[in-house]
Amino acid sequence: MKVAMIGAGYVGLVSGACFSEFGHEVICVDVDQRKIDMLERGEIPIFEPGLDTLVASNVQAGRLSFTTDLKSAVAESDAVFIAVGTPSRRGEGDADLSYVYQAAKDIAAATDGTKVIVTKSTVPVGTGAQVKRILAEANPSAAFHVVSNPEFLREGAAIEDFMRPNRIVCGVESKYARDMMRELYRPLFLNETPIVFTSLESSEMIKYAANCFLATKITFINEIADLCEKVGADVQSVARGIGLDRRIGNLFLHPGPGFGGSCFPKDIRALAATAEAFDAPLHIVETVNSINENRKKAMAEKIIAAMGGDVTGRTIAILGVTFKPNTDDMRESPSLDIIPALQKAGATIRACDPEGMREAAELLPGIEWLDDPYDAMDGADAVAILTEWNHYRALDKERMKSLLNRPLMIDLRNIYGVEEMEAAGFTYHSVGRMPVNAGA
Ligand code: NAD
């Protein structure tokens, strides 16, 4: 089957490469000439584990190619996926659908005959219906079958998630579209991956409801962590104790500095905006949003408090700036709130991140960037872990102590044990866990 993937970002490029791995002939289209040039040179514009080899092998097999020429890519395809961005509208919470609608207009102009148009971007309820109207108005002589096929992959594990999803969700309105989606996902279908066929509206809602539920789970354990600190409980034990209950489950129960990334923050704002527009407010979702925003700010205060309440003229080593490990994505990363607040309070920041520094350098001015975590700690008054990269999980504590002015660690990801750090002579602050030697 011939597939055009409109948008070659995190979702489009991974989905395109994976569909080509399934044996389809995929052409990825992007308006960003720089991205397409890089891809044509064999370079990957984003960091996603395994994507370089997957892309290279499918390009070599002749199943995957790249272009800025949407018209010819669409003309030759049986199915066209829309995988463009849907960021929050500036100053508003609702999703900016201008890229999706522009793509729909471009697709309509390039279509001749029958085509399946699949929205993979995360879009509010009603967008599929609007895409259908745009296509029909722009090209009444063509036959379009509009599908909603939201993507659930996680950056950092995107290929595995695409290849072994918990489920595939398809909002369809015709047998033609349903058969086409089955054929596209055939290898997974044969693997007995559940496919939920539903309406366009339900499919669109499933994506937002799933993300908002997960964001709520994170926010719940973050608030429980704060209470644990006050009452002397250990949030790790609490998370394990509740997570073993199968009705709750153990995933997304890791406390931290608040969620960030390209999806959760914008998706909860968008769903809250949709709910308000339909006069059915989602109070839980609105609250999760405001708790999370406040939490990112509170984390800077936590670091300052751990340093005695005043960081004027002090140097802080920051380990990790991306919103999670195994990605270079900086979108809405907690570090974007925490680091400027520390700078504003008078601290000097030395930071490192295995993959995020290039992206982060533009967003976080006034930082000294180091490749090596030990170099970042050299002469610093404290070290704060913001992202749980594996690189930071087994640091040499004696070496750290010899480099830091004071053995003080603020671990916002709980990647070290309280007793372990205290035994090593550190003053150690984490999330939802009390020091064993309080006051040490
Ligand atoms: P992205 O910003 O990485 O990529 C979007 C790409 O689309 C960009 O390269 C941009 O240049 C291109 N583009 C915009 N308009 C275009 C047009 N008219 N024609 C061709 N290309 C165009 O975004 P992303 O992270 O891949 O997200 C895409 C969608 O998938 C969003 O709706 C997002 O919510 C959703 N999603 C993202 C993730 C994730 O982890 N990133 C996971 C699931 C769903």
Contact between 106 and 73 under an 8 Å Cβ cutoff? The reply is: no
Give the HSE-up count for residue 290: Cα atoms under 13 Å, Cβ half-sphere: 6
- Model confidence at 253, pLDDT cuts 50, 70, 90, reads very high
User: What average pLDDT score do residues 284-312 get?
Assistant: 97
SS3 326: coil
Percent of the chain with pLDDT over 70: 99
Provide CATH code, domain 234-440.
3.40.50.720
Contact between 380 and 405 under an 8 Å Cβ cutoff? The reply is: yes
Token digits of residue 340: 């400027």
Q: How far apart are CA 316 and CA 270, in angstroms?
A: 35
Q: How far apart are CA 36 and CA 62, in angstroms?
A: 16
Query: Quick one: pLDDT at residue 429?
Result: 97
Select from 105, 262, 359 the residue to mutate for testing ligand 1; criterion: most ligand atoms less than 8 Å from CB: 262
Could you confirm whether 28 is annotated as catalytic? no
Query: Quick one: pLDDT at residue 440?
Result: 40
| CA neighbor of 82 nearest in space, from 116, 133, 50 | 116
SS3 162: helix
User: What average pLDDT score do residues 304-309 get?
Assistant: 98
DSSP3 helix / strand / coil % (the chain, rounded to 5)? 45, 15, 40
Query: Quick one: pLDDT at residue 439?
Result: 46
**Atom number in ligand 1 closest to CA 262:** 41
SS3 36: helix
Q: What is the pLDDT of residues 28-38, one digit of tens each?
A: 999 999 999 99
Q: Which DSSP string do the residues of 249-312 spell out, in sequence order? A: -STT----S---SSSHHHHHHHHHHHHHHTT---HHHHHHHHHHHHHHHHHHHHHHHHTTS--T
Q: How far apart are CA 345 and CA 342, in angstroms?
A: 5
What angle separates helix 51-60 from helix 10-21, to the nearest 10 degrees? 50
Q: How far apart are CA 46 and CA 418, in angstroms?
A: 35
Select from 30, 33, 268 the residue to mutate for testing ligand 1; criterion: most ligand atoms less than 8 Å from CB: 30
| CA distance readout (Å), 36 to 13, 54, 65, 81, 420 | 11, 17, 10, 17, 48
Domain with CATH 3.40.50.720 in the chain: 2-198, 234-440
Distance 79 CA to ligand 1 centre (A): 18
Q: How far apart are CA 438 and CA 151, in angstroms?
A: 46
Q: What is the pLDDT of residues 68-86, one digit of tens each?
A: 999 999 999 999 999 999 9
Q: How far apart are CA 112 and CA 258, in angstroms?
A: 47
Distance 384 CA to ligand 1 centre (A): 31
Query: Quick one: pLDDT at residue 393?
Result: 98
User: What average pLDDT score do residues 155-174 get?
Assistant: 97
Contact between 380 and 316 under an 8 Å Cβ cutoff? The reply is: yes
- Model confidence at 90, pLDDT cuts 50, 70, 90, reads confident
- Model confidence at 92, pLDDT cuts 50, 70, 90, reads confident
Is a pLDDT exceeding 90 seen at residue 261?
A: yes
Q: What is the pLDDT of residues 180-208, one digit of tens each?
A: 999 999 999 888 899 999 999 999 999 99
Report the pocket of ligand 1 as residue ranges, CB < 6 Å.
6-12, 29-32, 35, 70, 83-86, 99, 102-103, 106, 121-122, 151, 153, 155, 262-263
Is a pLDDT exceeding 90 seen at residue 438?
A: no
| CA neighbor of 258 nearest in space, from 220, 213, 212, 210 | 220
Exposed, middle or buried: residue 146 (CB in 10 Å: 0-12, 13-18, 19+)?
buried
Please, what sign has the CA dihedral across residues 433, 434, 436, 439? positive
Is a pLDDT exceeding 60 seen at residue 325?
A: yes
Q: Which residue's CA is minimally distant from atom 25 of ligand 1?
A: 10
User: What average pLDDT score do residues 282-287 get?
Assistant: 98
**Residues whose CB falls within 8 Å of the CB of residue 167, separated by 6 or more in sequence, listed in order:** 152, 193, 194, 195, 196
CATH 3.40.50.720 fits domain 2-198: yes
In the numeric block, the tokens 């995360």 are attached to 122
Q: What is the pLDDT of residues 383-427, one digit of tens each?
A: 999 999 999 999 999 999 999 999 999 999 999 999 999 999 999
Q: What is the pLDDT of residues 213-250, one digit of tens each?
A: 999 999 999 999 999 999 999 999 999 999 999 999 99
User: What average pLDDT score do residues 114-137 get?
Assistant: 98
Please state, rounded to an integer, the average pLDDT across all residues of the chain: 97
Distance 427 CA to ligand 1 centre (A): 42
